[in-house]
């Protein structure tokens, strides 16, 4: 095989894609349809809660186009990081959708289901063996961190996908996956250069985001050859340029020339980008460098409490000018009101219009807006306590008497009633480590299902 063609329908399963773009991709006779379904970008909540951050109906819409197209063309359909976070409940959610589609459309195919969530006992044993190391900026792992974890997954490489392909799977549904592996697995199995295959996968996993104009809800096509690969958007509205493709190669990387992954890293020092037509780019020179030990990245979360928020706005220029002092004094009032109860809680004020986004960076002195949106956030061990802290903070700020205040009816405007919103459980990433594995297949069990209708 001199060329392997890959269709990437969308940046994340459930983000959607124009049917015309998908049909244009199928006209190019791809050898595989692959899609990434997950990310840690939406934060730790979805992994901890076991729910998808993409809507079920939207996921079904995408899959009920992709799966029949793959079966009719006799090419595999591969889904990585199912349900967003890739844990067991996320895989089960996507599996239910696939079965539902198969029944409705009377489809018959062989399905491989690959799990990537670990039991705590397994992680504890590997930790005691010295097989787990921190990934910056994480600290050394502890047994307490393992015990407190609600769910732990790992990013699988291409090996489990290749095993499923070798076993004749028509559709592969996988838990948490290293994004490029979903797209590179068939190419690696067919003997194509691993470095080029993974680099192509790195770009295709975000679909048309690499284009100008970019979009996460449009299709992309990749042509992998022995000496490099070609990227082509499938909408006439988009173009790939050397700048857009090179820029996307830098996406989500701490080092512009190296991209680590399971079992090794991509070396991009000699990578080249060439404009070969108005909308196509040819990429060459990327190399894969294996590491002595094969490692996969662990992602684990722990529950830290429950959250309640209240959103309010102010237009008063006097309050806006003194907002820092007002927030500090409201915080002191809250502390004083509950100091005899020995309560544990977290209270925060996010001030949009005054570094609401840039507040993470100290020393900024941006001019104030003529209006502010204030989000009061309370996190506590119970939802009731979070409600109490948020509610008291909101009422205190609403009626706080600051110097120069003219109106006594209230300082804040609330866009919603009720003013307080119970957000629910709060999680944080507590495990962000590397797991050394002797066999990249063993940690990721595969189940095969014969779907018949």
Whether 364 and 444 map to the same domain: the answer is no
Which residues are CB-contacts of 286 (< 8 A; sequence separation ≥ 6)? Answer: 195, 196, 198, 199, 266, 267, 268, 270, 271
Q: Mean pLDDT in the chain? A: 95
Q: Are 83 and 428 contacting, i.e. CB atoms less than 8 angstroms apart?
A: no
Which of 14-18, 102-106, 247-251, 290-294 is predicted with the least confidence, judged by mean pLDDT? Answer: 247-251
Whether 254 and 307 map to the same domain: the answer is no
Q: Are 162 and 188 contacting, i.e. CB atoms less than 8 angstroms apart?
A: yes
**Residue 368 predicted with pLDDT over 90:** no
Q: How many Cβ atoms from other residues are within 10 Å of residue 163's Cβ? A: 19
| Closest C-alpha to 90, from 47, 34, 130 | 47
pLDDT band at 453 (very low <50, low <70, confident <90, very high): confident
Q: In what order do the strands lie in the sheet with 287-290?
A: 258-261, 264-267, 287-290
With 0-12 / 13-18 / 19 or more C-beta atoms within 10 angstroms meaning exposed / middle / buried, residue 329 is: middle
pLDDT tens per residue, range 296-347: 999 999 999 999 999 999 999 999 999 999 999 999 999 999 999 999 999 9
**Residues forming beta bridges with residue 275, ordered by sequence position:** 281
Whether 24 and 161 map to the same domain: the answer is yes
pTM to 2 decimal places: 0.93
Share of the chain above pLDDT 90, in %: 92
Rg of the chain over all Cα atoms, to the nearest angstrom: 25
Q: Are 85 and 108 contacting, i.e. CB atoms less than 8 angstroms apart?
A: no
The CA distances from residue 223 to 218, 220, 271, in Å, are 17, 10, 17
Which residues are CB-contacts of 277 (< 8 A; sequence separation ≥ 6)? Answer: none
Tokens at 208, concatenated: 């048309």
**286 part of a folded domain:** yes
Predicted pLDDT at 198: 98
Whether 105 and 190 map to the same domain: the answer is yes
**202 part of a folded domain:** yes
**71 part of a folded domain:** yes
Whether 372 and 422 map to the same domain: the answer is yes
Whether 386 and 277 map to the same domain: the answer is no
**Residue 245 predicted with pLDDT over 80:** yes
C-alpha count within 13 angstroms, C-beta hemisphere, residue 196: 23
Q: What is the mean pLDDT of residues 417-426?
A: 97
* Cα separation, 125 vs 132, whole angstroms: 10
* Cα separation, 242 vs 26, whole angstroms: 25
Whether 103 and 162 map to the same domain: the answer is yes
Predicted pLDDT at 406: 87
* Cα separation, 285 vs 397, whole angstroms: 59
* Cα separation, 367 vs 383, whole angstroms: 36
**224 part of a folded domain:** yes
With 0-12 / 13-18 / 19 or more C-beta atoms within 10 angstroms meaning exposed / middle / buried, residue 16 is: buried
* Cα separation, 390 vs 376, whole angstroms: 7
Q: What are phi and psi of 439, to 5 degrees?
A: -130, 115
Tokens at 3, concatenated: 């060329």
> Kindly report the CA angle at 10 between 9 and 16, in degrees rounded to 5?
100
**Residue 357 predicted with pLDDT over 80:** no
Q: How many Cβ atoms from other residues are within 10 Å of residue 386's Cβ? A: 27
**Residue 254 predicted with pLDDT over 90:** no
Whether 368 and 446 map to the same domain: the answer is no
Whether 282 and 331 map to the same domain: the answer is no
Share of the chain above pLDDT 70, in %: 97
Question: What is residue 413's DSSP assignment?
Answer: B
CATH of the domain at 316: 3.30.70
Strands of 83-142 (E only): list them. 109-114, 132-134
**Residues forming beta bridges with residue 110, ordered by sequence position:** 450
Residue 372's domain comprises: 302-429
Predicted pLDDT at 359: 62
Which of 197-201, 253-257, 264-268, 310-314 is predicted with the least confidence, judged by mean pLDDT? Answer: 253-257
Q: How many Cβ atoms from other residues are within 10 Å of residue 93's Cβ? A: 18
**Residue 221 predicted with pLDDT over 70:** yes
Which residues are CB-contacts of 96 (< 8 A; sequence separation ≥ 6)? Answer: none
Q: What are phi and psi of 135, to 5 degrees?
A: -110, 120
Whether 319 and 406 map to the same domain: the answer is yes
**149 part of a folded domain:** no
Whether 320 and 363 map to the same domain: the answer is yes
**146 part of a folded domain:** no
End-to-end CA distance of the chain: 34
Predicted pLDDT at 120: 96
Q: Are 435 and 293 contacting, i.e. CB atoms less than 8 angstroms apart?
A: no
**150 part of a folded domain:** no
Tell me how many domains the chain contains: 2
C-alpha count within 13 angstroms, C-beta hemisphere, residue 359: 11
Whether 387 and 422 map to the same domain: the answer is yes
* Cα separation, 99 vs 86, whole angstroms: 18
Predicted pLDDT at 370: 87
Q: Are 131 and 436 contacting, i.e. CB atoms less than 8 angstroms apart?
A: yes
**348 part of a folded domain:** yes
Judging by DSSP bridges, how do beta strands 109-114 and 171-174 pair with one another? Answer: parallel
């Amino acid at each position: 095989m001199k060329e392997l063609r890959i269709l990437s329908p969308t940046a994340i399963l459930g983000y959607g894609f124009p049917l015309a773009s998908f049909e244009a991709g199928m006209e190019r006779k791809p050898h595989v349809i692959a899609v990434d379904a997950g990310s840690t970008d939406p934060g730790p909540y979805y992994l901890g809660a076991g729910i998808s951050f993409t809507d079920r109906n939207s996921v079904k819409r995408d899959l009920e186009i992709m799966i029949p197209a793959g079966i009719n063309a006799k090419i595999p359909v591969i889904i990585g990081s199912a349900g967003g976070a890739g844990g067991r409940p996320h895989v089960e959610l996507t599996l239910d959708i696939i079965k539902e589609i198969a029944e409705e459309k009377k489809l018959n195919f062989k399905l491989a289901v690959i799990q990537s969530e670990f039991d705590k006992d397994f992680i504890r044993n590997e930790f005691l063996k010295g097989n787990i190391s921190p990934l910056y900026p994480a600290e050394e792992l502890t047994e307490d961190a393992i015990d407190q974890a609600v769910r732990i997954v790992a990013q699988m490489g291409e090996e489990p996908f290749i095993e499923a392909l070798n076993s004749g799977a028509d559709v592969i549904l996988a838990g948490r996956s290293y994004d490029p592996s979903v797209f590179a697995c068939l190419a690696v199995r067919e003997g194509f250069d691993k470095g080029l295959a993974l680099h192509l996968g790195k770009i295709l996993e975000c679909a048309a985001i690499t284009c100008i104009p970019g979009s996460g809800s449009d299709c992309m096509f990749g042509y992998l050859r022995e000496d490099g690969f070609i990227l082509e958007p499938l909408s006439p509205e988009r173009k790939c340029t050397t700048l857009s493709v090179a820029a996307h190669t830098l996406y989500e990387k701490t080092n512009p020339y190296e991209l680590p992954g399971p079992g090794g890293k991509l070396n991009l020092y000699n990578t080249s980008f060439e404009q070969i037509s108005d909308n196509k780019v040819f990429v060459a020179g990327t190399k894969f460098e294996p590491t002595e030990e094969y490692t996969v990245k662990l992602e684990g979360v722990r529950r830290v409490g429950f959250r309640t928020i209240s959103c309010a706005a102010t237009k008063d220029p006097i309050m806006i000018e003194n907002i820092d002092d007002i927030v500090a004094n409201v915080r002191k009032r809250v502390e004083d009101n509950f100091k005899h109860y020995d309560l544990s809680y977290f209270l925060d004020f996010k001030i949009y219009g005054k570094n609401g986004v840039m507040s993470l960076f100290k020393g900024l002195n941006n001019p104030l807006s003529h209006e502010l949106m204030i989000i009061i956030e309370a996190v506590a061990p119970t939802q009731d306590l979070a409600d109490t802290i948020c509610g008291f903070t909101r009422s205190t700020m609403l009626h706080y008497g600051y110097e120069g205040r003219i109106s006594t009816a209230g300082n804040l405007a609330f866009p919603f009633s009720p003013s307080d919103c119970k957000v629910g459980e709060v999680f944080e990433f507590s495990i962000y480590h590397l797991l050394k594995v002797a066999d990249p297949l063993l940690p990721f069990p595969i189940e095969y299902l014969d779907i018949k209708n």
